[in-house]
């Protein structure tokens, strides 16, 4: 389904290329490179080999029987992106972009990271493909995700702590963009989500759409029919768009994005963009952003470093406008409870990001009929979050 | 013919960038006045933005301090309204797309107010040629020049950009973000020649300029020089003496640029 409007840089009014002139030729070069390679059978074959033999795809679609029985409503399946190499869905996009960059003659990858999952995935791909790698990470996040910082360094990447602004994900994106304006001849900016200027939202979505392609095949095999709802957490929105994309035309499948409400959408400590933001222009795109009355970007908050971002990808903004997807807020408290629930019930520790989607399933599954089917995208594993959740529960543990 | 265009007629132009509300609103009013008195031909007034992605650390820092000190877009408009009683030279705003887009009911409100307070042009570093159509009709309606930028990487895009440029063309001297540089290695002369092939709109070079001889050299290669980070640095170091220090600096720089052929 062509979700783009006539202007191929946009999804409805969202998207575009609000970038410094210095970077325009770089994004045009990227678009041309991608258009040249995306339908090239050799490129696709190479990517598929990386997906299957390196990242461990396809990821399982697991029937969560104990959770289903416990909730007493809809059947629940978990799409296990947490089982991918490096522990999250981020590797899908990164392998795609790194291969693309390499074919375009680039020798250096730069990236932003929030929780560290995208940074780790990028550092991994750089190691595999023998490329230089520099990761920008908010100073606050380097502290709450210290283990991931070490992993990136171990993989050979330079990690630059970003101290400007709120020293979190949005500032890491800004700093990576600044670095790209400084050096683009040999450097590819491996953006980690379906955001930023065109063509990034489209490229990242295409590489992540393998998630819904597999879900569709797997659920048809297991159940002989499509699911009634697909749930995924949304920060920038890459795992969600990946889980939604191949269901966009299947109107009977509800698509539900779960935003980080932090301490609640009626407080300032929230990152729920659809619930509390409004239309704006930032980080290369037009979309919804948390901002004040003068358009200053809000310092957002979530327990999850990966969802702690004041905007949302333009395709999600458009899916919200058209009503094709729903976006719901989930608080820190609800996410932590879901984090603990899934660990206890299924023996699966989800990333605190993914726990936002699990939390919403806990709300809706019990009142659904037993013949209904829910798929939750478990976008990453939660080992990285154990210390933070312990702190949230008042327990001080050291990694 | 716009006031900005006219500012280049007499001699090469010196353009000073000053962050509004830095270090506080009152001092920054005095600083802007000083720069005008000292001979600046155009002043770019930066409306602070929370996340200025085209700026280096110096101007980023000024944005943070100014926002902390309570500057808002409305207060910048009030400032300019007051300054206009004493300042005749063209004034431009330099800010980010969202500040314009999210003001009041949108860009129309912003640009109408620009017109009322006497702003001549606007520079939006995150609005390239591909996105300018969203803003330029409204700019035209209110007589505001939407300034186009060209960069060392623009190459084949220069003529397309130059043909539609208004006011002046901001020639970005170097890769990267704003900030003082020891050396500018880009071949500015050939960038400017490409512009001149397509338009009479004047060109001024910015990014990295801090010394009079650099400014003079850039003005010689084009029609003017733009200085930002060096001025902000002086303000950050001068404390209460900032208006006088900026006066002395702008005098020295604009004299050097005006003497350039």
Asked whether the bond before B23 is cis by omega within 30 degrees of 0, the reply is: yes
The candidate with the shortest Cα–Cα distance to B110, out of B118, B121, B99, is B99
Mean pLDDT of A185-195: 97
Q: Residue A90 catalytic?
A: yes
DSSP bridge partners of A291: A297
Render pLDDT for A288-344 as a digit per residue (tens, 0 to 9): 999 999 999 999 999 998 899 999 999 999 999 999 999 999 999 999 999 999 999
B interface with A, Cβ–Cβ < 8 A, is 49-51, 53-54, 56-57, 60, 64, 67, 72-74, 96-103, 125-131, 149-155, 157, 161, 172, 175-177
State the pLDDT at residue B180.
86
Rounded to two decimals, the pTM is: 0.96
Q: Which two tokens stand for residue B139?
A: 């700019």
DSSP state for residue B176 in the 8-state scheme: S
A278 to B177: CB separation less than 8 angstroms, yes or no: no
Smallest CA–CA distance, residue B75 to chain A, in Å, is: 11
Smallest CA–CA distance, residue B251 to chain A, in Å, is: 31
Mean pLDDT of B109-121: 98
pLDDT band at B211 (very low <50, low <70, confident <90, very high): very high
Which helix H or strand E contains B226, and what residues bound it? strand B224-227
Q: Which two tokens stand for residue A318?
A: 């458009």
Q: Is the pLDDT of residue A61 over 50?
A: yes
Mean pLDDT of B118-122: 98
Distance CA B151, CA A252 (A): 49
State the pLDDT at residue A399.
56
Instruction: Estimate to the nearest angstrom the gap between the alpha carbon of A50 and the chain centroid.
Output: 20
**pLDDT averaged over chain A?**
96
**Which member of A17, A22, A174 has the closest CB to residue B51?**
A174
Higher pLDDT, B5 or A398: B5
State the pLDDT at residue A6.
53
Mean pLDDT of B119-138: 98
Distance CA A397, CA B239 (A): 46
The candidate with the shortest Cα–Cα distance to A125, out of A92, A83, A160, A80, is A92
Distance CA A24, CA A47 (A): 27
Instruction: Estimate to the nearest angstrom the gap between the alpha carbon of A182 and the chain centroid.
Output: 26
**Which member of B100, B102, B128 has the closest CB to residue A19?**
B128
Q: Residue A238 catalytic?
A: no
Distance CA B5, CA B203 (A): 10
Render pLDDT for B40-89 as a digit per residue (tens, 0 to 9): 999 999 999 999 999 999 999 999 999 999 999 999 999 999 999 999 99
Helices (H), chain A: 21-37, 41-49, 65-71, 90-103, 117-128, 139-144, 146-154, 169-182, 200-208, 210-223, 238-244, 273-276, 314-322, 332-346, 352-364, 386-392
Q: Is the pLDDT of residue A1 over 80?
A: no
Q: Looking up tokens 């001297």, which residue turns up? A: B173
Instruction: Describe the strand order of the beta sheet including A254-262 as a list of residue ranges.
Output: A61-63, A75-80, A373-378, A229-234, A254-262, A325-331
Give the residue from B98, B146, B207, B229 with the most A CB atoms within 10 Å of its CB, the best one to mutate.
B98
Nearest CA in chain B to A26: B153
Q: Is the pLDDT of residue A4 over 70?
A: no
State the pLDDT at residue B261.
86
Residue B183: CB partners within 8 Å, gap ≥ 6? none
Q: Which two tokens stand for residue A322?
A: 């058209």
With the CA atoms of B101, B106, B108 and B111 taken in that order, what torsion angle do they form, in degrees rounded to the nearest 10?
Answer: -50
DSSP assignment of A75-117: EEEEEEGGGSGGGBTHHHHHHHHHHHHHHTT--EEEEEESSSH
Question: How large is the ipTM?
Answer: 0.97
State the pLDDT at residue A3.
44
Render pLDDT for A62-100 as a digit per residue (tens, 0 to 9): 999 999 999 999 999 999 999 999 999 999 999 999 999
pLDDT band at A396 (very low <50, low <70, confident <90, very high): confident
Instruction: Estimate to the nearest angstrom the gap between the alpha carbon of A204 and the chain centroid.
Output: 9
Q: Residue A59 catalytic?
A: no
State the pLDDT at residue B183.
86
Mean pLDDT of A32-44: 97
Q: Is the dihedral of CA A213, A216, A222, A228 positive or negative?
A: positive
**Which member of B51, B67, B175 has the closest CB to residue A182?**
B175
> Which of these is catalytic: A90, A106, A170, A216?
A90
User: Count of A–B CB contacts within 8 Å?
Assistant: 117
Render pLDDT for B19-36 as a digit per residue (tens, 0 to 9): 999 999 999 999 999 999
């Amino acid at each position: 389904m062509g979700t783009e409007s006539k202007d191929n840089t946009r999804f409805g009014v969202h998207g575009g290329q609000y970038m410094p002139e210095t970077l325009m030729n770089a994004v045009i070069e990227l678009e041309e490179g991608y258009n040249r390679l995306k339908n090239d059978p050799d490129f696709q074959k190479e990517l598929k080999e990386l997906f299957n033999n390196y990242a461990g795809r396809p990821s399982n679609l697991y029937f969560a029987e104990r959770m289903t029985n416990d909730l007493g409503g809809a059947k629940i399946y978990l799409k296990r992106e947490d089982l991918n190499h490096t522990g999250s869905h981020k590797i899908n996009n990164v392998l795609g972009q790194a291969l693309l960059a390499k074919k375009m003659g680039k020798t250096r990858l730069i990236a932003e990271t929030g929780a560290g999952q995208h940074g780790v995935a990028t550092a991994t791909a750089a190691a595999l493909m023998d490329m230089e790698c520099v990761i920008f990470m908010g100073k606050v996040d380097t502290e709450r995700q210290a283990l991931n910082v070490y992993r990136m360094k171990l993989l050979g990447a330079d990690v630059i702590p970003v101290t400007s602004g709120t020293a979190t994900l949005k500032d890491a994106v800004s700093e990576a963009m600044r670095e790209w304006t400084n050096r683009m001849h040999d450097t590819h900016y491996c953006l980690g989500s379906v955001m930023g200027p065109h063509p990034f939202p489209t490229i990242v979505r295409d590489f992540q759409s393998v998630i819904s392609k597999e879900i569709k095949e797997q659920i048809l095999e297991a159940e002989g029919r499509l699911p009634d709802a697909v749930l995924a957490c949304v920060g920038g929105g890459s795992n969600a768009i990946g889980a939604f994309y191949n269901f966009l035309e299947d109107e009977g499948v509800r698509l539900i994005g779960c935003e980080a409400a932090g301490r609640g959408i009626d407080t300032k400590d929230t990152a729920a963009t659809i619930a509390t933001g409004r239309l704006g222009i930032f980080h290369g795109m037009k979309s919804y952003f948390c901002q004040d009355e003068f358009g200053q970007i809000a310092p957002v908050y979530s327990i999850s470093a990966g969802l702690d971002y004041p905007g949302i990808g333009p395709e999600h903004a458009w899916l919200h406008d058209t009503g094709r997807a729903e976006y719901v807020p989930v608080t820190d408290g609800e996410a932590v409870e879901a984090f603990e629930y899934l660990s206890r019930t299924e023996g699966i520790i989800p990333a605190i990001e993914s726990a936002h989607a699990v939390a919403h399933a806990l709300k809706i599954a019990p009142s659904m009929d037993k013949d209904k089917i829910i798929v939750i995208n478990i976008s990453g594993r939660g080992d990285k979050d154990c210390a933070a959740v312990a702190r949230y529960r008042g327990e001080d543990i050291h990694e | 013919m716009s006031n900005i265009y006219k500012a280049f007629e007499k001699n090469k132009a010196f353009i000073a960038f000053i962050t509004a509300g830095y270090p506080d609103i009152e001092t920054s009013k005095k600083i802007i006045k000083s720069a005008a008195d000292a001979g600046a031909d155009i002043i770019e007034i930066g409306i602070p933005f929370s996340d200025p992605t085209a700026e280096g650390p110096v101007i980023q820092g000024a944005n943070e301090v100014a926002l902390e000190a309570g500057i808002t877009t409305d207060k910048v408009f009030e400032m300019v309204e007051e300054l206009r009683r004493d300042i005749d030279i063209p004034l431009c705003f330099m800010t980010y797309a969202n500040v314009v887009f999210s003001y009041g009911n949108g860009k129309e409100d912003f640009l109408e107010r620009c017109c009322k307070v006497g702003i001549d042009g606007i520079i939006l570093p995150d609005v390239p040629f591909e996105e300018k159509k969203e803003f330029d009709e409204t700019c035209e309606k209110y007589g505001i020049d939407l300034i186009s930028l060209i960069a060392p990487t623009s190459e084949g895009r220069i003529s397309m950009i130059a043909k539609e440029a208004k006011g002046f063309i901001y020639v970005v001297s170097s890769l990267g973000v704003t900030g003082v540089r020891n050396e500018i290695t880009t071949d500015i002369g050939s960038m400017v020649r490409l512009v001149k092939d397509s338009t009479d709109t004047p060109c001024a070079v910015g990014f990295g300029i801090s010394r009079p001889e650099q400014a003079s050299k850039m003005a010689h290669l084009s029609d003017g020089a733009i200085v930002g980070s060096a001025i902000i640095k002086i303000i950050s170091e001068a404390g209460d003496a900032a208006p006088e220090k900026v006066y002395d600096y702008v005098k020295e720089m604009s004299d050097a640029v005006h003497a350039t052929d």
